[in-house]
Structure 1
Amino acid sequence: MFQKILIANRGEIALRVLRACKELGIQTVVVHSTADADAMHVRLADESVCIGPPPSRDSYLNIHQIVAACEITGADAVHPGYGFLSENAKFADILAAHNITFIGPTGDHIRIMGDKIEAKRTAKRLGIPVVPGSDGAVSEEKEAKRIAAEIGYPVIIKASAGGGGRGMKVAHTEADLEVALQTARSEAGAAFGDDAVYIEKYLQKPRHIEVQVFGDGFGRGVHFGERDCSLQRRHQKVWEEANSPALNAEERSRIGGICAKAIADLGYSGAGTIEFLYENGEFYFIEMNTRLQVEHPVTEAITGIDLVHEQIRVASGGGLSVKQEDIKFNGHAIECRINAEDPRTFTPSPGTITHFHTPGGLGIRVDSGVYSGYKIPPYYDSLIGKLIVHGRNRVECMMRLRRALDEFVVDGIKTTLPLFRDLVGNADIANGDYDIHWLEKYLAKEE
């Protein structure tokens, strides 16, 4: 087991990893920018190192400074959390060159899955069902029209190196295709420095289903069930739940088994999430995230397994602590992402939190790094906390969620709490009857 882990992140995820380390008796080091000097994870860590000014490029994305912090403090491993450098293959390679363990997969696996085109090829080779579309990058309009005609309109054009909805355009007809292709390439080049795009069939009313997987790096793989992340705004997840209200036990077992086998065959090490669009009983691979997900707590709630403990165990060479037959699913869990944003316009709302009170009681968990008097900086992601609720079934879970949202108090800034209070009373949400377009249509009607 590791002696000292450096946590290369901030906010609630840094605190989440820090708690896991403390439970395992591992010393902790956190890095922080000058803007985060008073953050909770900085206060609670055994050691802290300031690595630069507020802009992420000068601090949390500064590989040189993070490696230097490891060497100064004697950290023998780095946990990257999510975001920032968590899916940076170069960072993983550099740590390996310095004999520091990256708590995650190899740089090669990060590269494969970070390239959407190569990820799709790999998924297909591993037996994972994929969305019909181009086999590689598409640059010529003539080729794009041929592929679109073969798979049928509407189609979606996606950036190969993309994410977060950037470099994604839908073409409903051949007349739309030229503009969509040019716009997607332009956005991809500007956002990611790579204008390569590919084409896929655009599904009309899909769910977004993701499967939590783990590999030991030696040919063993397991899955921890699925999460439904269909409630999204601009391709950003807002509400996640496990298990999905759209799947039955047979579908859950089938797609989980496919993903666990694929991870084993790939020789993958650590946590990963294989994401799908699901429509009419069929799963279609869209991407794999080679890191811990923001929404991992709902999986922990229904399995009772600490996924960060599992990450650390696997990275230290201890292998997986469970076999597939050991993983049982208990009840239902929902996570709401509480952001420092206007609940209608979603405009960021940085500022000082004057009062902060979290709900409690059976089945309630809040992952947050903020406190009364804490100043939300304007430089980073707006997530200030996650409310995770667990019940014996979805009905009980929704009852507890409604109560927990009423108890949650964040004063001094605007947050998305009012949005969730609206959603929890909506009939479609109560019935689990929604798709990836539902939330944006709902918000458009509310304007």
Structure 2
Amino acid sequence: MDIQEIRRQFPILNEQVNGHPLVYLDSAATSQKPLAVIEKIDEYYKKYNSNVHRGVHTLGSMATDGYEGAREKVRNFLHASSVEEIIFTRGTTTSINIVAQSYGEANLQEDDEIVLTYMEHHSNIIPWQQAAKRTGAKLKYLPMNEDGTLSMADVKEAVGPKTKIVAVTHVSNVLGTINPVKEIAEIAHANDAVIVVDGAQGAPHIKVDVQELDCDFYAFSGHKMGGPTGIGVLYGKKALLNNMEPVEFGGEMIDFVGLYESTWKELPWKFEGGTPIIAGAIGLGAAIDFINSVGFDIIESHEKELAGYAMEVLSNVDGLTIYGPKERAGVVTFNIDDVHPHDVATVLDSEGIAVRAGHHCAQPLMKWLDVSSTARASFYIYNTKEEVDRLAEGLIKTKEYFGDVFA
């Protein structure tokens, strides 16, 4: 499947924005959706919309098969050992909160340490802040190299006998840094700590094998990988999940309810209270099918090539600063001298180019970079070098515009 064939699978890419063909460079915020996903969700609502697990009628059986079939697709996608380790959630944020509230608060004590990095998304900081407040544990941040990477020597020094949890992003949503999760996991486990991985920017772009990484928990969202919004996944090792309490209670997750006591279903359903996200799970399954049809080898090489090309082209724009390491995922974050990122994004939007501007839910990282905000272009399998060229042209126009305004 070549890039033009792939692009034809995404109807939104035919849209015009402000009189220009759309250049969508904001996939780190949310990706666009292929026809296969749109049609699969449409099919569910048109042909077999029903609740799952409870009914014995035909539609209920079809919906259950679709929902649980999607779970098996996720298991295979992550190379997990069992579907019992795959919990459907609303997204990465919910998944990390489940770990922080259930595992964290049950296993943390006063003066225990939770080790984080400065590059974490707020969703992998705030839940740990709250867990620390409730348990008396302390947060500890790993230093970063000047280019926004981690040193294994620093990890070994920071993770010690008091460390109970290491929470780290697989791929930085700002810097594009790809963290060595497997090596960090080895250090965490050598100190009897667990590792929680924010895979929101990892799972859509890098082949993930949770057994090879030996991570204890891995969280990601469907909407960043061609799936619908409102669906995510928490992977957890079965032994850990079995010993964790649910954080939401009600229908679907129970085994028996008495007047004063209740018991829970087995994994994974004890963590899926209420009517689950049926259409979302089915859509996520379709997104995984689409990704598999393209192949991660192609996705990774294409995004790496695009990021490298963008670094080369954008470095020729006078007054532009790019943040992060040379070797990166498909994210390029930058600032232009004397032009606010929001102004950059506004001018680019007038040219039909969609980028993100702001702190990207990474305010501690912005402070580390000594900026208040940045602009960010993020790529996926449907982007092209021609679109990178249009971005560069748009940035030159932005500089010219603000140069004229302030001349």
State TM-score, norm by structure 1.
Answer: 0.29
Comparing both chains, which one has the higher relative contact order based on Cα–Cα distances under 8 Å and sequence gaps of 6 or more? 2
Q: Which has the higher helix share?
A: 2
